[in-house]
Amino acid sequence: MPPHRHSRELILKAKTLIFVAAAISAALLAGCSNTPSNKDDSAFTYLLDRPSNWVENKLEGLPPLPQNSDLLPFEVSQNTPLRFSLDARSLSVGTDGVVRYTVVVTSPGGARNVNYEGIRCDTYSWRLYAGLDADHNGWDQTVANDWRRIENSELNAYHAALYQDYFCTSKMPIGTAKQIVNNMRYKRTTESGWIH
């Protein structure tokens, strides 16, 4: 083989290697850029960061209206004139992580507001399923609302009190319905450290 032909082949191979190296470098640099891409990188999302496929349990009827003998008073704020009670018989803990209950709010004049509600422990939210009807002898489901964030700052923030004191810990229900009722009956709150 003539020496000049051998030299040309070496030069051609060197140029090809330089081109390939440049292409690889460009590809690597492009991968390091902060430019947003349309690539689906969901495979790299941490498991706990993925949106959950949570489904709320279907509401299987409403509890009976509360009887005074079943009401458990609980503290919300020393600054509110209202009194708050929970119907022990209505309380349930669903497999969906929702604690459902009937709450009775009584004004100083004796007027009562009665609601059947749920608190979702994993999202710090609540919803209304039904309220006492205008005749005070049944439930009105037309007042129902969807899930709402629990507000801490309100004077009458009983949802926050129930969530923090009795219902939830580490974004999960604190225990069974019976355990929660017993804790409320004996004023064992999470803050007191006596929760069972």
pLDDT in tens, 80-112: 899 999 999 999 999 999 999 999 999 999 999
Q: Is residue 38 part of a domain?
A: no
Classified as helix, coil or strand, 38 is: coil
Q: Is residue 81 part of a domain?
A: yes
Bridge-based pairing of strands 172-173 and 83-87 is unpaired
Question: Per the structure, how many domains does the chain have?
Answer: 1
Supply the pTM of this predicted model.
Answer: 0.71
User: Which domain CATH number covers 132?
Assistant: 2.40.128
Q: Is residue 128 part of a domain?
A: yes
Nearest to 184 by CA among 123, 126, 99: 99
Q: Is residue 120 part of a domain?
A: yes
Q: Is residue 91 part of a domain?
A: yes
The residue segments making up the domain with residue 166 are: 68-185
Q: Kindly report, residue by residue over 105-161, the tens digit of the pLDDT.
A: 999 999 999 999 999 999 999 999 999 999 999 999 999 999 999 988 776 799 999
